[in-house]
Amino acid sequence: MRTVVVYVHGLWLKGGESFLLRRRLSRALKAESRVFPYPSVRTGVADNAVALGRYLQAIKTDSLHLVAHSMGGLVILKLFELSLVPQGPLAGVAQGLPPGRIVLTGSPVRGSRSAERLVRLPLGRTLLGSAAEALLVRSEPRWPGGRDLGVIAGDQPVGLGRLLGRMGAPNDGTVWLDETDLPGAAEQLRVRVSHSGMVYSAEVARQVAAFLKDGRFS
């Protein structure tokens, strides 16, 4: 049985930072790992979600898992949201994909306070570009189901977000813990890791692999 894991990167990145994570997942799951690269600043989340849908449709496999870091999780959620819109650009696409599971790591699904602070600075909105439309919106998302989804949040407060001001409540240095909360998720796990450290952490890789394999964290 062929298994493919697709990694969706975060803001300002291209996916190369996920090399260790993807190698660990490939070994643990005996799977092929791929990166979906997208222009996180030049193109909005909805358009990137459409591109992700087309990319996934072209993959021929028995099982198809998705793993996201940071804003990549918003792209995945938008893909599944648009798939439920009749006659939309992605109508039914997600439902037609091979079976698999999803793990979001450090994804600010409820909006980003760090982004709110950044846009107050000179050139801040330019740095965010089209990502601002998703990161600056406070929302109350809920995973509608259809496939198992797990959420990993970090609580080691080391990261660029701290340069923008005091963060206070539990956070990973960029994203607050409460910003990752997604009702409807099968499981939500808190790990002692920073935001950028998630893609390099052996423990995060182990937990992602466990969820993709069995539908629960170890």
Render pLDDT for 141-162 as a digit per residue (tens, 0 to 9).
Answer: 999 888 999 999 999 998 877 6
Please give the share of the chain, as a percent, with pLDDT higher than 70: 99
pLDDT at 31: 98
| Mean pLDDT, residues 126-131 | 95
Average pLDDT over the chain reads 95
| Mean pLDDT, residues 117-138 | 93
- State the pLDDT confidence band at 168, using cuts at 50, 70 and 90: confident
23-50 pLDDT, tens digit per residue, is 999 999 999 999 999 999 999 999 999 9
Kindly state the DSSP code that residue 195 receives in the 8-state scheme.
T
pLDDT at 197: 97
| Mean pLDDT, residues 68-90 | 95
Maximum separation of any 2 CA atoms in the chain, in Å: 52
43 Cβ neighbours under 8 A, 6+ residues apart? 51, 130
Q: Which domain holds residue 42?
A: 3-214
| Mean pLDDT, residues 69-94 | 95
**C-alpha 22: how far from its chain's center?**
14
- State the pLDDT confidence band at 117, using cuts at 50, 70 and 90: very high
Q: Which amino acid is at 45?
A: V
The tokens for 68 are 């996201």
Sole residue written with tokens 């570009």: 129
Looking at the 3D structure of the chain, how many domains does it have?
1
Residue 165 has pLDDT above 80, yes or no: no
CATH of the domain at 42: 3.40.50.1820
185-203 pLDDT, tens digit per residue, is 999 999 999 999 999 999 9
- State the pLDDT confidence band at 14, using cuts at 50, 70 and 90: very high
Residue 209, SS3 per DSSP: helix
Residue 163 has pLDDT above 80, yes or no: no
48-65 pLDDT, tens digit per residue, is 999 999 999 999 999 999
Nearest residue to 15 via CA among 47, 46, 48: 48
